Amino acid sequence: MNIVSFFAGAGGLDLGFEKAGFDVIWANEYDKEIWETYQKNHPNTQLDKRSIVNIPSEEVPDCDGIIGGPPCQSWSEAGAMKGIEDKRGQLFFDFIRILEAKQPKFFLAENVSGMLLGRHSEALENIKELFRKAGIGYELSFEMVNACDYNVPQDRKRVIFVGIRKDLGFTYQFEKPNFPKQTLQDTIFDLQENVLPAKETNKTNGSDCFFPNHEYMTGGFSTIYMSRNRVRSWEEQSFTIQAGGRHAPIHPQAPKMEFIEQNVRIFVPGKEHLYRRLSVRECARIQTFPDDFIFHYQNIAAGYKMIGNAVPVNLAYFLAESIKKQLKANEPKQQVLEKVL
């Protein structure tokens, strides 16, 4: 089945669907810092570099599915939480505009859990209704999932919308995963050695890295960062991998931060040398990108941003497999409907 991808980023969602046997024939990404990474890792996909607001629907290829994660900063609990009032939040409407015009068999949209906050309830219901009424309409399924349940070594709560075109005669059912929990030891233990600090002003080490992208951001830690523990042990799963390198979790070689008072913690005295941010490659592993997926950037912050904004590949793969299975299982029903019509 052919699908198209919007707000593709580095392509974590796309890679998961490709692993499940879908063909991502066309993708859209507006951020020029990401283009090289996407194109080199998805050589068979045509990349459109315009903002979605400037893309006429007739220029989007016909497809069986549309996937994407409209920018989430507007809905984030860590951000301003402006939601649909922010221009970035309004990009949902362009996603729906193209969905309405192309009428694929299904769509999948991903966003942060912050959009479930009460202050966004009216906007969220409006988006749901627009999804349901797009074109001939979609049967909408909606659920908050935690990536840690989907073979991803990370606490990461996200909202998933899946729509099935009404004439296909069924509603998508979210399936319960059954994976053992993956820990930091399972995921990044072999990367302890040969990591490099970023060069001056956090520029990349490039080909000097012993392992691709195995370098970490340097610089101080803000009072907000130091307000709570940022260390997970080897036996635990990672904190959420965020899009900002300065907010990357601390490597599990370090002991958990010492509590001083409310909103104040310090690195354990005498152990300060153990506290470094996770490297770009370690973050990529935690997001379940394969090691042969290389991130291209000049400033290391761009590497963290691409990875932190991505959908974990294993989560995307599970959802893609589930959608494919349910589409196939309902093919007889679709054939009956076609005969009746």
209 and 137 together in one domain: no
Enter the tokens of residue 224.
């907000």
Tens digits of pLDDT across the chain (341 residues): 999 999 999 999 999 999 999 999 999 999 999 999 999 999 999 999 999 999 999 999 999 999 998 875 544 444 444 434 544 457 888 999 999 999 999 999 998 777 777 677 777 888 888 899 999 999 999 999 999 999 999 999 999 999 999 999 999 999 999 999 999 999 999 999 999 999 999 999 999 999 999 999 999 999 999 999 999 999 999 999 999 999 999 999 999 999 999 999 999 999 999 999 999 999 999 999 999 999 999 999 999 999 999 999 999 999 999 999 999 999 876 665 555 55
Enter the tokens of residue 134.
């797009």
In sequence order, the 6+-apart residues with CB closer than 8 A to the CB of 247 are 225
Beta bridge partners of 299: 203
The reply to whether 140 falls in a domain is yes
The overall longest dimension of the chain from CA atoms, in Å, is 76
Enter the tokens of residue 231.
């260390």
Give the domain CATH number at 249.
Answer: 3.90.120.10
Whose tokens are 């580095």? That residue is 10
Q: Write out the DSSP string of 134-150.
A: STT-EEEEEEEEEGGGT
50 and 139 together in one domain: yes
String of b and e for 315-331 (b: at least 16 CB within 10 Å)?
bbbbbbbbbbebbeebe
Q: Are 295 and 284 in contact (CB under 8 A)?
A: yes
Lateral strand order in the sheet of 23-28: 46-48, 23-28, 2-6, 65-68, 106-112, 157-165, 138-146
299 and 331 together in one domain: no
300 and 153 together in one domain: no
149 and 266 together in one domain: no
Beta bridge partners of 273: none
- How many domains does the chain contain in total? 2
234 and 323 together in one domain: no
Enter the tokens of residue 178.
């059954």
Strands of 75-227 (E only): list them. Answer: 106-112, 138-146, 157-165, 196-197, 215-216
The reply to whether 334 falls in a domain is yes
115 and 244 together in one domain: no
The alpha carbon torsion through 234, 150, 243, 144 (nearest 10 deg) reads -130
Among the options 63, 72, 148, 283, which is catalytic?
A: 72
Q: What pLDDT, on a 0 to 100 scale, did the predictor assign at position 76?
A: 41
119 and 30 together in one domain: yes
331 and 259 together in one domain: no
The reply to whether 179 falls in a domain is no
11 and 119 together in one domain: yes
Q: What pLDDT, on a 0 to 100 scale, did the predictor assign at position 80?
A: 46
10 and 158 together in one domain: yes
Whose tokens are 């996909």? That residue is 45
Active site residue 72: yes
Q: What pLDDT, on a 0 to 100 scale, did the predictor assign at position 258?
A: 97
The reply to whether 178 falls in a domain is no
Q: What pLDDT, on a 0 to 100 scale, did the predictor assign at position 88?
A: 47
The reply to whether 49 falls in a domain is yes
The reply to whether 13 falls in a domain is yes
216 and 101 together in one domain: no
Q: Which domain holds residue 286?
A: 184-308
Q: Write out the DSSP string of 282-338.
A: HHHHHTT--TT-----SBHHHHHHHHHTSPPHHHHHHHHHHHHHHHHHTHHHHHHHH
258 C-beta neighbours (distance < 10 Å), count:
13
The reply to whether 177 falls in a domain is no
